[in-house]
Structure 1
Amino acid sequence: MNKNMTFCEQCRDDVLYIEKDEIMEANLKGEIYRYAGKRAFCKECNSEVFVSNINDYNLKNLYNEFRKQNNIISLEHILEIPKKYNIGKRPLSLLLGWGEQTFSRYCDGDMPTKQYSMILERIFNEPSYYLELLESNKDRLKSKSTYDKSKEATKMLILEQHSCNESKIDSVVNYLLHECEDITPLALQKILYYIQGFYYAFLNNFIFEENCEAWVHGPVFRDIYYKYKEYRFDPIIGYDISNTSDLSVSEKAVIDSVIKNLGCYSGKILEAFTHAEMPWLETRGDLPLSVGTNRVIEKGLIADYFMAVKEKNNMINPSDIGDYSKKMFEQILNNR
């Protein structure tokens, strides 16, 4: 049969069909999702016909939309994990302490739970995290060669990652300049700080290596300050969107949520937020508000504070950052 032919119920015959792109809706687990799909129509009578590969295409796009809206790791990332770390599907399941066929089922399209999805997304993005799992759980693997091959592949990934870490903060800045309207140097500094803190809270790792300092107007990343200081109180213009391609899905999820929930406030409001938070306060100590300093806000302080914020506010995923920003804004208003 011609690949563009299918059976038409109206014509009662195999017919040629045409495809039409369409925004479709479907109910999945009690929620309605809109996604880009296709429909097929008989060229003879114009009635809709069933085509298995179009049905598969629609289901794939529907599930992709579900994954996207519910922060579930994509099938593409799942399939990439064993390739990245040079390990088979079954050994990976064993390493993680899951059922022997669990990861294979995910590769076939089964949807992981949010808990398993977070583990897999972190493995995909963080070779150092995977290496920790590999070392601590190597006794679960059935052969030493499996461990050796995977460890070698992981060490190479870590070396590659370290070589590009220096530009990560620049990638984040360019992404912010592209996504945010009228962002000033003051607001940029505070948003970078919140990205650093909340990324650690949700992924137990810092998104960039650079330290920030407890300046008069809040946390500041020194190199970024000097790069954009000429704009003073004006919005920054110009960005290189090509320098954002190394941002992962999980990184963009945190960044997008910070933009949505904190980027709506002015730089001065965000400054007030940081002045009420432990990392900036503890780093400055007894220094008067108007006295400058280059004291580094220790990453441990940032980690402890934002982990505590996450637990106190029962945050499950980055979209919950909005609860914290609303509480901080109310606190600032009440103190004025």
Structure 2
Amino acid sequence: MRKERYSFCTECRKECLYRLQNIERQYDIKGKKYNMEVTVAICKNCGEEMNIPGILDLRAKEVDEQYRKIENIISICDIEKLMKIYHIGKAPLSLALGFGEITITRYLQGQVPSKEYSDIMRRALESPKYMISRLQENKGKIGKTAYSKAMKAAMELGDLFNLSEKMLSTISYIFEKTYEITPLALQKLLYFIQGIYMVFYRTALYEEDCCAWVHGPVYEKVYELFKTFQYNPIDDSRFVLLKNRFQELSKEEKEVIDLVIDTFGMYSGKVLETITHREGPWQSARGGYLPMERSNVVIEKEEIFNYFKEISEKYDFSSRDGIRKYIDRQLEVI
């Protein structure tokens, strides 16, 4: 049962019930006007706005978050992630990025960074290579221990993300468009995206080859990146590095990924595995192997293209309905 909310109404001069609602207000920030949605408390007795405890702090937070989003300014949460993934403290991070020693401390306390400094922090968050270059450039300003820890973390992250830009951008977009995803489901979506993209544009979206593993087509470097999650959804602060990479994808590339997510993406990794097990490319590459026998045989891109071209002509993969009909057919009991 929801607890009723009371506070003192200055108009009614007594304790009154109130309701919270969102309204749009205009704010002038640094000489520029912004329309923002904020929370207000409305007295249920007189209908006037009430100044309840905590409402001003909540509103300030809402305005701050919306301002940062509109102006593409890094959030406090992402600055904290930046410290976490590189195992570095506030002062060493400030110096490593070329800022004053207490700059990061001020930002964590709520000061809004300039667009220039925000872009530097965001780039460090998204690119271990960039962070390595900043650490090397400012090595003399940072203590040896802090430098070593941060450099080690940056190098390890750089090794983890040893994938093509298109692959990283595709994974980033999948993360953006799905509520949660397991490594197994991710592998299969990447495979279907590659196949359908090749049918539409006669070229591969990403350069990586996939192998015919026991559980279906697998991109080995992607497997190494997410293997610690096993059959659980992927959730880790390190992967904030992938957050905005999808912006590099073209409209056509995003359309193909959306097509796959809206169809194949409705199913679990195990169901998608079943579908790939009934397809020619995986079956052909697994020829001669026992069901649970390990194999690193590559599923050739030409095989993938030829198969998807054939089934696309039969089911019309330019439409979601056509793909759904194909999925239904693959899942029929044989």
When normalised by structure 1's length, the TM-score is: 0.50
**Structure 2 match to 1:117:** 118
For residues 42 and 177 of structure 1, what CA distance do their matches in structure 2 show? 39
For residues 70 and 253 of structure 1, what CA distance do their matches in structure 2 show? 16
**Structure 1 match to 2:167:** 167
| 1:176-187 map, 5 Å | none
Task: Note the C-alpha offset of 1:247.
Answer: 7.9
Task: Note the C-alpha offset of 1:122.
Answer: 0.3
**Structure 2 match to 1:68:** 69
3-state SS of the aligned residue for 1:162? Answer: coil
Task: Note the C-alpha offset of 1:29.
Answer: 2.7
Task: Note the C-alpha offset of 1:79.
Answer: 2.2
**Structure 2 match to 1:128:** 129
Task: Note the C-alpha offset of 1:95.
Answer: 2.3
Report the RMSD for the aligned CA atoms in angstroms. 4.0
Paired AA for residue 147 in structure 2: Y
For residues 8 and 176 of structure 1, what CA distance do their matches in structure 2 show? 43
Q: Is the 8 A contact 2:168 2:245 kept in 1?
A: no
Query: What's the CA shift string for 1:177-229, capped at 9, x where partnerless?
Result: 99xxxxxxxxxxxxxxxxxxxxxxxxxxxxxxxxxxxxxxxxxxxxx887534
How many equivalent pairs are there?
Answer: 204
**Structure 2 match to 1:188:** none
**Structure 1 match to 2:245:** 251
Paired AA for residue 120 in structure 2: I
Paired AA for residue 228 in structure 1: Y
**Structure 2 match to 1:279:** none
**Structure 1 match to 2:151:** 151
CA gap of 1:101–1:229, structure 2 versus 1, over 3 A, is: closer
Q: Is the 8 A contact 1:33 1:65 kept in 2?
A: no
Query: What's the CA shift string for 1:226-265, capped at 9, x where partnerless?
Result: 75343469xxxxxxxx99x97855435555xx659xx9xx
Task: Note the C-alpha offset of 1:83.
Answer: 1.4
For residues 93 and 4 of structure 2, what CA distance do their matches in structure 1 show? 38
Q: Is the 8 A contact 1:17 1:43 kept in 2?
A: yes
**Structure 2 match to 1:230:** 199
3-state SS of the aligned residue for 2:101? Answer: coil
**Structure 2 match to 1:184:** none
For residues 259 and 231 of structure 1, what CA distance do their matches in structure 2 show? 13
**Structure 2 match to 1:92:** 93
Whether 1:22 and 2:16 are equivalent positions in the alignment is: no
Unaligned runs of 5+ in 2: 179-192, 203-232, 256-334
Q: Is the 8 A contact 1:37 1:61 kept in 2?
A: yes
For residues 4 and 176 of structure 1, what CA distance do their matches in structure 2 show? 37
CA gap of 1:130–1:173, structure 2 versus 1, over 3 A, is: closer
Paired AA for residue 144 in structure 1: K
For residues 79 and 170 of structure 2, what CA distance do their matches in structure 1 show? 28
Paired AA for residue 108 in structure 1: Q
Q: Percent identity?
A: 30
Unaligned runs of 5+ in 1: 179-223, 234-241, 264-336
CA gap of 1:72–1:47, structure 2 versus 1, over 3 A, is: same
Query: What's the CA shift string for 1:104-127, capped at 9, x where partnerless?
Result: 111122111111111011011111
CA gap of 1:59–1:248, structure 2 versus 1, over 3 A, is: farther
Q: Is the 8 A contact 1:34 1:65 kept in 2?
A: no
CA gap of 1:155–1:5, structure 2 versus 1, over 3 A, is: farther
Q: Is the 8 A contact 2:83 2:90 kept in 1?
A: yes
For residues 160 and 103 of structure 1, what CA distance do their matches in structure 2 show? 27
CA gap of 1:232–1:103, structure 2 versus 1, over 3 A, is: closer
For residues 243 and 172 of structure 2, what CA distance do their matches in structure 1 show? 13
Query: What's the CA shift string for 1:79-121, capped at 9, x where partnerless?
Result: 2211121111122112233222211111122111111111011
For residues 88 and 51 of structure 1, what CA distance do their matches in structure 2 show? 37
For residues 176 and 108 of structure 2, what CA distance do their matches in structure 1 show? 33
3-state SS of the aligned residue for 1:157? Answer: helix
Q: Is the 8 A contact 1:35 1:62 kept in 2?
A: yes
